[in-house]
Amino acid sequence: MGVLNLKFTLFASFLTLAVAVPQSISPYLVKEEILPPRGWVKSGKPALGHTITLRIGLPQPNFHVLESHLYEISDPDHERYGNHLTKEEVEDLVRPHPDSLDAVNEWLYSAGFAAEEINRSPAHDWVLLTIPVSKAEDILDTTYHVWTHTASGDSLIRSTRYSLPRHLHDHVELVQPTTMFGRTKRERSHIFAPFKAEDEDEDEDEDAAIFSTQTDTSLASGSIDPSCNTTITVSCLLQLYNATGYEALNKSNNSIGITGYLEEYANLQDLQSFYSEQRPDALNSSFNFVSIKDGLNSQNLSEAGEEAGLDVQFAFGISFPVPGTFWSTAGRPPFQTEEGYDENSNEPYQDWLDSLLGSKEIPLVISTSYGDDEQTVPKSYALRVCAGFAQLGARGVSLLFSSGDAGVGDGESDPAKQTCFTNDGTNQTRFRPAFPASCPYVTTVGGTENVNPEVAVSSFFSGGGFSDYFVRPAYQEAAVSTYLSKLPRGLYQGLYDQEGRAFPDVAAQGDRFRIWNKGRAGKIGGTSASSPTFAGFVALLNDARLKTNQPPLGFLNPFLYSKGRAGMNDILDGSNPGCGTPGFNVTTGWDPVTGLGTPDFGKLKEIVI
């Protein structure tokens, strides 16, 4: 649809709203109902006057067309490869039908909302209302309660069912926050060694040899400093992944971004300490900060986030001087029930998506080190958030997510201690895939450790498995089917969906990363290290393409599972225990622990240019 037609359609829609007489509201019918997820108990009513931002998702009738575009422009063998869509083209493809726009607006106007109280996404596929909980209860024919997670003490304001007028069921896909009980968490930033003060020189001699990003002439060609088995630095990663000596350009048409949630702040003093030690040519450089929903940018050293520090230091350290962006998105699911306390209780991925989808310019590579258990996210919501990621991919953005640190579910191989049960009331044992790691439109990164050989990480367990929500996409059918054909007959029968989207797609180092936090150096790990690491190398690959006037890589998976496989280091040892089982094994080719393997930048560069 051209711009002229788009303007006409919007004008016609608004004209209809201006003259329409609201229809009589049909009887309410239940739209969605769930059982309370395991571990959550009802603990009271919301504070008087507490407000929430209600999101009403309208259907995207042409999403299948956008998906078709996405796969064509991401397939290196297709004639349209790299011809990414514009913001306006993507919005046209996800715009709701005018009948849905009219029906929802008539409902809201009849409920007493004024036009200025109703906010909309750029494509008008989301309607946002910031309203008291009591008003949300009225229009959804529901009751909200405070629910408390018994293990952590976190609280949410949620409902286990909501209703809509019968005639709206075809015009509304979902309404949240209602049945969303996800607890967004880091994946997972373990502290493996105490952070030490700058004046403590313990282990400095061991580490100093691998701080420099320059080639060590004492090492044989292709060899890796053995100290990388105990401490991972930028230099180690450049050596291990065959990028030593590559020089990127500081070009405005290249970019990399890191998402920040849960009040994780990227501290500039820590970043400069990191650069001084590991990337001295980056000293005095910084990154672009973007606040979403009033996300803060505290530079108080005592509030520096380990996760944020890890992400920006390694993603930007690897990709320097590619311009970097850090988003701070306010809001988190836990909600404390003090009178007058107005914390945003909405799950934050969609807030971040709203901001990016409404932006003209978006970083070309984005890494996220946070996730939820898939089963705690209502399927309707997971599908819709995943569709938002597809929109970014169609615009040429590479999205990378950590696979999680708990193997196939809880990281527990002792059957007596496993906690992997379904949330459907039957309490059956079931592996617990992660979301957004399970979304087919993102690239999911598992964890490895050691060098010569590099193996699946063992100090925690690389998340991986098969989605219960998303079917396996065509791009990974051959690789995953080959893996499944090698499994013993009946292994883990009933514990996972063999037809589900499989993850991770790739892997990278995830253990013993030396970062700076709160003015100290220390070691940290998790697949939260693996994702920004892989993202840094994707930014370098985009640099190589842009130097030859080619478009950025965009959505990576169709490339990785085809031509890109020749540029991956296959990992051959390890497993990912969990849910009272040994988990899946690493094997030749793709596996649900390390995916297709780790990147060989030199080989991948030759393939992409």
Both tokens of 97, joined, read: 């039908």
Contact 373, 438 (CB under 8 A): no
Q: What's the DSSP call for residue 382?
A: H
- Whole-number Å distance between alpha carbons of 446 and 457: 9
For residues 474-504, one letter each, b for 16 or more C-beta atoms within 10 angstroms of the residue's C-beta and e for the rest, the string is ebbeebbeebeeeeeeeebeebbbeebbbbb
Q: Is the peptide bond before 166 cis (omega within 30 degrees of 0)?
A: no
On whether 591 is known to bind a ligand per the annotation, the reply is yes
- Look up residue 372 and give its amino acid: D
Long-range CB contacts for residues 75-80, cutoff 8 Å, separation at least 24: 75/558, 75/559, 75/562, 76/558, 76/559, 76/562, 76/563, 76/564, 77/562, 77/563
Is 252 a residue of the active site?
no
Catalytic site residue from 528, 530, 531, 575: 528
- Whole-number Å distance between alpha carbons of 291 and 490: 49
Place of tokens 């005592």: 302
Catalytic site residue from 187, 307, 412, 600: 307
Catalytic site residue from 270, 311, 372, 374: 311
Is 528 a residue of the active site?
yes
C-alpha gyration radius of the chain: 24
Both tokens of 232, joined, read: 């991972």
Contact 400, 535 (CB under 8 A): yes
Place of tokens 């059982």: 35
Coil, strand, or helix at residue 575? strand
Residue 309, CA distances (Å) to 36, 191, 251, 255 in order:
35, 13, 24, 18
The values of phi and psi at residue 42, to 5°, are -70, 130
- Whole-number Å distance between alpha carbons of 387 and 381: 10
Residue 116, CA distances (Å) to 112, 119, 171, 175, 215 in order:
12, 7, 22, 20, 60
> For the chain, what percentages of helix, strand and coil (3-state, to nearest 5) are there?
30, 20, 45
Is 74 a residue of the active site?
no
- Whole-number Å distance between alpha carbons of 506 and 367: 13
The values of phi and psi at residue 31, to 5°, are -90, -40
Which residues make beta-bridge pairs with 540?
A: none
On whether 570 is known to bind a ligand per the annotation, the reply is yes
Which residues make beta-bridge pairs with 520?
A: 517
Place of tokens 């979301």: 435
- Look up residue 305 and give its amino acid: G
- Whole-number Å distance between alpha carbons of 6 and 8: 5
**Sign, Cα dihedral of 72, 65, 369, 317:** positive
Residues comprising the chain, all counted: 609
Contact 79, 372 (CB under 8 A): no
Catalytic residues: 307, 311, 528
Residues annotated as binding site for Ca(2+)? 570-571, 589, 591
Instruction: List the binding residues.
Output: 570-571, 589, 591
